[in-house]
Chain A
Amino acid sequence: MIKNKLKQDMRVIGDVTLFTKDTFYCMLSRPFYLGRFLEQIIHLGIESLSITIVIGIVTGLVMTLQFGYGLEKFGGTLYVPAIVSLSLMRELAPIFTSLLIAGRIGSGISAEIGAMKVSQQIDAIRALGTNPMRVLVVPRVLASILSLPLLATLSAFMGILGGLTIANIEFNMPPGFYINKVLSTIKLSDVFGSMAKCAFFGLVISILACFRGFETKDGTKGVGSSAKWVVVRTSIIILISDFFLSKILILIFD
């Protein structure tokens, strides 16, 4: 039984690799569906703005509050801006945003494509002489790769802003001091490192979601299980790969 499960998992890994290869081939050759890409930027990126902002602010508020009271006992309140901004920029914003997007967008993409699969719409795209990889997958993958880093960066900045507000209210920290500390802590490499990580997470989420959508069978039940499959797998991959990506980024930049 374990052997069969392993075999099945290896086959999925192989299929996803081939799917990724096909996606990149279609991405780098014509025709390109600009309209559909912009549609996905709006759907995946702009429509996720509000929730990303809320998550960023709330994380910043909570982090500042916890670290503020925790470090106050040791007279370390002054370090709060550096700790909060660095952890937000390097880890919390990319991870929280990516997990959120995996839930919101990953499941949405797989359900949408899965529903198209079971209702023969993907066959119809093929029957009408067009390539579903170009029509459906490439716009979603590109939009995810581009949107996710921008959303995570925005989330980090909103978190820092939230931290600034609560540091001022709760610990009487002047905003100018807070901003100076943040600017002297965060380097450009932190921002780019975070964006690179999120671009990778965006690729993972969209590729797995599209792949699973294409593999959907068994009607509406299959659509639901595909969405669940994507959220679970992408969340695990995001959390595990974050460790290795962080290690690589530290080796490169520090």
Chain B
Amino acid sequence: MQKILEVKNVFKNFGFKKVHNGVSFDLTLGETIGLLGPSGTGKSVLLRSIIGLEEIDDGEIRYHHKRIDNLTEVELYKIRTRISYSFQNGALFDSDSVFENVAYPLFEHTKLNELEIEQKVLNVLKIINMEGAKDLMPSDLSGGMQKRVGLARAMILNPEILLYDEPTAGLDPSNVELVIDVMKKFKQQGISGILVTHDIPTALKICDRILILKDGVINFNGTTEEFENSNDSFVKTFLKYE
């Protein structure tokens, strides 16, 4: 299996607080990983570190075997068109319409004309079941819709890896199903993913492999079946309470 992303022995501290204490794992082409763990263990920080929104203190992050953790902000811009990040709250530009939000990466990174951009945006909006919402402003959207637009914006450049930061948090069951559906469609398109979530049923539906981050290290790394059948006491407790 071709490794496209390798996280090797990553350390990260915030002042005296140790967040990552040697985190290591890798992601193979077409695979979706579920990154679980108790609150405050640095799951989102890990995603942010992967695309350079947070600097790591030690260790390596490699994309296609090339180190990306030591790149400058300008060098990272190109990487961020291939590794995309979907924010927990959508992080939509609140002064721009849904169309402008989703089209933003296309205007920035492609030479497509306006007609082609419109077509591409409409296609993506169709995938997320929001064809009729292109002229709405983020304030007109529900939380679930905002998350879906955030997902659409994150995948419009057809990235190789999509980092999902709690895409189903705070959503009602019908919206959770819609978001899962969107993530499945992305997966079918060959986009690899790392899903940070507390929502174990969602992780089990989407992911090929589950990692548990605890005490700054990867405490469990196995397939979804291995996760469900694990005899590890922490995994059992985690499954029970989450």
Contact = CB atoms under 8 A, between A and B. Distances in A.
A154 B89 CA distance: 44
Q: Which of A115, A119, A124 has the most CB of B within 10 A?
A: A124
A120 B154 CA distance: 14
Contacts of A8: none
B77 A131 contact: yes
Contact of A128 (B73, B74, B89, B105): B105
Contact of B78 (A115, A121, A127, A129): A129
Interface in A144-168: none
Interface in A68-126: 115-116, 119-121, 123-124, 126
Contacts of B73: 126, 131
A130 interface: yes
A139 B90 CA distance: 25
A126 B72 CA distance: 12
B94 A128 contact: no
A216 to B, nearest CB: 15
Interface stretch (B16-24, B80-88, B129-137): B80-88
Given A119-B94, A121-B94, A127 B89 contact: no
B210 interface: no
Nearest to A31: B108
Given A120-B87, A123-B87, A124-B91, A129 B53 contact: no
Given A127-B84, A128-B105, A128-B153, A120 B89 contact: yes
Contacts of B85: 127
B104 interface: yes
A123 B91 CA distance: 8
Contact of B93 (A121, A127, A129): A121
Instruction: List the 4 closest A-B pairs by CB distance, nearest first.
Output: A124-B91, A120-B91, A129-B80, A129-B77
23 contacts: A115-B94, A116-B93, A119-B91, A120-B87, A120-B89, A121-B92, A121-B94, A123-B91, A124-B92, A124-B93, A126-B53, A127-B51, A127-B80, A127-B84, A128-B80, A128-B84, A128-B104, A128-B105, A128-B108, A128-B153, A129-B77, A129-B79, A129-B81
